Amino acid sequence: MRALILTSSTGGGHNMRARAFQEWAQTEPDLGRPPQLHRPLEKSHEIYAFGVWLYNWIQRTAPFLHHGYFNFLEVVAIVRTSRPLGSQKYREILEELQPDVLISVHDSLNHTFFEYAREVLGEDRVRCVTYCGELSGGYGFSRHWVNPSADLFIGAVPETCEAAVRRGMAPEKTQVGGFLLRRFFYDEPSDEAGRAAFIRQQLQLDPNEFILLLSASSRGAHNHVRFLETLKQRHIDAQVVLLCGKSQIAEREISAWAKANPRARVRLLPHNTNVGKLMRSVSAIVARPGTGTTSEAIVSGCPLLLNCLGGVMPQEHITVKFCRKHGVAQLIRSPDELAQVVAQWRKRPELPAAIRQAMKAACPPLHPRDIVRTIAALHVRADNIAVGPIPVIEAARAAHPAVLPVPGKNLPQPVPAAGSIP
């Protein structure tokens, strides 16, 4: 299978899922060469690249402005033209890699870039798949996620697939796939002794006390200093671990604050930290209501405090909607609210424990390998593309049909992975 993953750096969740698919595909050696990544919005044309920059600027500075940005793109539909802007660069990638499967993990890449790939490579020579990590439908679920002509739409949770069907995706080409996260989120959890050793040795903190993780976007959007100042003013001596994405500016801000407050128990970690192990070790995480970090927290069983300072973006509305429905998070609208929750949770550990239980119930009982194998099975079914049988896929197809109707719903289920997951 020659797969090309289409992604973009608007926020961090899309690239995270693209890398996750790469990682899991590489655990299946029978699938052939590793999937390749391409960011056509950034690489094709200056107008697309400006849109990516503007998205991230708004996220860092004034999230409420995203309502105008989101609704403008919903109406103007610059990503649904007859061919991409700067199409020659995209064409060169297609001709060089000759993918037989295109996998989009971004809402802006499911129309123009699918259709142009079919034009360049041949209608029957490439299969087009969308993986959507959004957690519910309604306002904030972009109409651009759904291309009815695509060969397959995989949604993270049933709510995603229901939204896609309402937008015109055929039920028989829609299926639930679960979360597509990086491999370290599926490592065997440490026992209590291992967790305590990690906290003492790596974080140099006390594993018997409450530990708060403050997260940032990959581009460094955060409210860390405001949160830290409020905790200090409220005399809440909490242990705090901080991530700043890839932003050196954010890291300098936190380092300066820590230097000015030497008694504060804060630990700044690099962006390449094993976040899966970290989330399984801390007491709670504060993060924007993005689908990526929310999904990671659910899989890790890490109680989630949604940072809604500065307003909630349309794309975040649907995450908040899912979290409220399943009781897997608490909203934070000000630094004072965070201080109140931290003080309360330190005294009453049964409160975050209840969120952990809700996360177990809300977490899809699926694995990223199911997604990889489902897409590979789609590739195998195209007889004019497949070179020969792929053993692991043949085993999965022999054990389960590619699409099974969900009882009581006109939606399909994913192909379960063959064999045990290490």
List the structure tokens of 39.
Answer: 């960011």
Q: What is the pLDDT of residue 123?
A: 87
* pTM, entire model: 0.87
Strands 152-155 and 174-176 come out as parallel
Q: What is the pLDDT of residue 32?
A: 75
Average of per-residue pLDDT across 278-286? 96
Q: What is the pLDDT of residue 218?
A: 67
Q: Residue 329 pairs with which residues in a beta bridge?
A: 304
Report the distance separating Cα 139 and Cα 120, nearest Å. Answer: 34
pLDDT above 90 covers a percentage of the chain that reads 70
- The residues, ordered by sequence, that sit 6+ positions from 378 with a Cβ below 8 Å of its Cβ are 101, 127, 129, 151, 152, 402
Backbone dihedral angles phi then psi of residue 278, each to the nearest 5 degrees = -65, -45
Where along the chain do its domains lie? Answer: 3-179+365-413, 187-362
More confident residue, 303 or 419: 303
- Give pLDDT tens digits for 183-213: 999 998 889 999 999 999 999 999 999 999 9
Q: What is the pLDDT of residue 324?
A: 96
Domain 187-362 carries which CATH code? 3.40.50.2000
Q: What is the pLDDT of residue 279?
A: 95
pLDDT above 70 covers a percentage of the chain that reads 89
Q: What is the pLDDT of residue 418?
A: 34
C-beta of residue 318 within 8 angstroms of C-beta of residue 377: no
- The residues, ordered by sequence, that sit 6+ positions from 165 with a Cβ below 8 Å of its Cβ are 171, 174, 410, 411
Residues across the chain:
422
Report the distance separating Cα 40 and Cα 44, nearest Å. Answer: 5
Report the greatest alpha carbon distance in the chain: 68
- Give pLDDT tens digits for 242-260: 998 777 888 889 999 999 9
